[in-house]
Amino acid sequence: MCGIAGICHIDGPDGVSLNGIKRMIGALCHRGPDETGIYLDDQVGLGHARLSIIDLSSGTQPIHNKDKSLWIVYNGEVFNYPELKKDLLRKGHRFYTTSDTEVVLHLYEEQGPDCLKQLNGQFAIAIWDAKKKELFLARDRVGIRPLYYTVLNNTVIFASEIKSIFTNESISRRIDPIAMDQIFTFWTTLTPRTVFKDIYELPPGHYLKTSGGKVTIRKYWDIPLYSRAEQSDLSPQETCRHVQDLLQDAVRIRLRADVSVGCYLSGGLDSSGAAALVVRNFNKDVRTFGIRFDSDRFDESKYQNLMVSYLNVNHTDLKATNEQIGASLSDCLWHCEKPLLRTAPVPLFLLSDVVRKSGYKVVLTGEGADEVFGGYNIFREAKVRRFLAKYPNSQSRAELIGQLYPYIFNNPRLKRTLQSFFARGLDQIDDPIFSHFIRWENTSRIKTFFSQELNEAIGQYDGYEQVRQSLPEGFERADDFSRAQYLEMAIFMSNYLLSSQGDRVAMAHSVEIRLPFLDPRVIDFAARVPSKWKILGLNEKYILKKSFEEILPKEVTSRPKNPYRAPIKQSLLNEKTAEYTKEALSEKSLSGGGLFDAGKVTKLLRKAQAVENLSEIDNMALVGVLSSQLIHRQFVRDFPLRITDPVVPALVVDRRSEALRAVS
């Protein structure tokens, strides 16, 4: 796992600065602390910061093809590279390293952008074709690895993280008002927008090509949506057998590495299942890592302990205290590079530090299972609300809502109130965003804290309409559950789960996560399983639970799902952190950022300190406002243009002409 960065003048030679690329790479050293490499010619500069995992001795990047016309820098892993390499060898390709990087380059040489369809992995790639003068950027299907870019004066500037792009002094650093509207509705921006104006992400499943002075972006994969007729007719038992085989193979190829691979183990179904597959089939001595919390509301120790003794693994846990979570929010945001409405990324940020200090660079995680196999409450909520919409006055139907959120409904006084809360929008069951309507409406309430200035800049922008317009062909034909699943994967998964709770917080401490549940074969097979088997009645992840029955204790397969969350108010306003939080939310700080209404935020802060149990929305508002302020502070106001020590590359391929070298 690594970091990549570069620039490309799309109109032709214009000079490339070695120091500029060094600075960009310097900002990514946490992603690749082991070595760096650079390629330069008169039109392009490519930089690479390496975390050595496969081919430790000879895999130094950039890597070239036989005639040195193609150059690649690459962040990620292609797990099926040994199989792809065999084919290429048969076709006469010869390799000078044993890395997966070189395999990807030769496959591109052979097939062009079509090669992406054969890659089973997680990656962000940059390939420069020095003969055709074409830059090719690509990102894995679901967006496990990040890749950002901007285009300025006919120059494409790209990098694994935005801070690397910002080391170019000519790039302006501004918060994008529309992005703020999106984040405070959907919990994240809608791709390709980022929170920074004019900085874009290359969307998951897309590639970008520069050729003849033009930039084109194409989709090569989308989240599968099958109509019932295209789905399988296998029995649940047969389905489970396939799921078992696929997951076992997805885990097997994700253990390919020249370093040890560990596992995250929370005690939940997904990470327990992945860890059990490793222990039973591949490595009974695998090291596991998990998070614990102060408060019982968040802590999963009971199940984590159960799994540790069941698998008999060498487990290391991190107790994420409220003080630590609050104190680390700012550092965590430096890596996430976007405002957050949750503190849940922070414990994962702290955990990767423990993993790294234990000598591990790679871990398997259970991320993605809830999206692929139907684990989220929002899927069940939509199902119940749809059921309720048929007979809105039915008391027995309304009672089902209580089963969805037992941890909210534990107060019987609230029954009727909550039922009417979830009954909102029942007349809109035909709206494609029906499933997410309540969540997005609730989140939107936080926009009440936006400043007048920000509101004016947002104007009449309508995020819901943008989502509706972006839906793919086939969305209408898919069933209700598959639609909700699509929205969840397209919006929440890549930009929040895989980013702020995935790559960014792991790579902050040079740890690579690998996600067997997001193996493209698993995603595709699961999409072909009829929805009724994924959520049987209201029993979420039914097929996955059944598939794990033989390898997990019954307590784990039958336990109610407890969503991974972390405390907010208790973390941000405790004895150790309250002063910092109050300073960041002071009238002076707020007016400096210009994003929020200081009067309202002061009232929120007062309420947060006075009330014992702060509501869900108020908690989200608190962390949303604070994290936006901290993002503004770190990236707009105080951005350090020279972030790290100067880089001393292990490899520099410098093909610049004397004339242009002098001007750059």
Partner 1 sequence: MDNSVKVREFVVENFLFGDGESLKDDTSFMEEGIIDSTGILELVFFLEETFGLNVEDDELVPDNMDSLQNIARFIDRKLNASPAAEA
Catalytic residues: 2
**Closest to 508 (Cα-Cα) out of 628, 626, 655, 348:** 348
Cβ nearer to partner 1, comparing 285 with 616: 616
Q: How many helices (H) and strands (E) does the chain have?
A: 29, 18
Number of Cβ atoms within 10 Å of the Cβ of 495: 26
213: left (phi over 0), alpha (psi -120 to 50) or beta: left
Cβ nearer to partner 1, comparing 137 with 454: 454
Strand pairing class (362-364; 314-320): unpaired
Cβ nearer to partner 1, comparing 297 with 445: 445
Secondary structure class of 206 (helix, strand, coil): strand
What's the burial of 175, exposed, middle or buried (CB within 10 Å: 0-12/13-18/19+)?
buried
Cβ nearer to partner 1, comparing 117 with 416: 416
Cβ nearer to partner 1, comparing 245 with 616: 616
| Residues 283, 83: Cα–Cα separation, whole Å | 22
Binding site for partner 1 (CB under 8 A): 408, 411-414, 416-418, 420-421, 424, 441-442, 444-445, 448-449, 597, 599-601, 603-604, 607, 611, 613-618
Q: How far is the CB of 420 from partner 1 (least distance, A)?
A: 5
| Residues 106, 133: Cα–Cα separation, whole Å | 17
Q: How far is the CB of 444 from partner 1 (least distance, A)?
A: 8
Q: Cβ contacts of residue 627 below 8 Å, gap of 6+?
A: 329, 333, 339, 340, 341
Cβ nearer to partner 1, comparing 91 with 413: 413
Amino acid at 515: L
DSSP string, 328-359: HHHHHHHHH-S--S-STHHHHHHHHHHHHHTT
| Residues 281, 6: Cα–Cα separation, whole Å | 41
CA angle 350, 148, 38 (to 5 degrees): 90
Cβ nearer to partner 1, comparing 92 with 412: 412
Q: Where are the beta strands (DSSP E) in 294-403?
A: 314-320, 362-364
Please check whether residue 95 is in contact with residue 47, taking contact to mean a CB–CB distance below 8 angstroms. Answer: no
Q: How far is the CB of 353 from partner 1 (least distance, A)?
A: 33
Q: How far is the CB of 300 from partner 1 (least distance, A)?
A: 23
Cβ nearer to partner 1, comparing 365 with 629: 629
Give me the sign of the Cα torsion angle 411, 415, 420, 426: positive
DSSP 8-state code for residue 175: B
Number of Cβ atoms within 10 Å of the Cβ of 606: 10
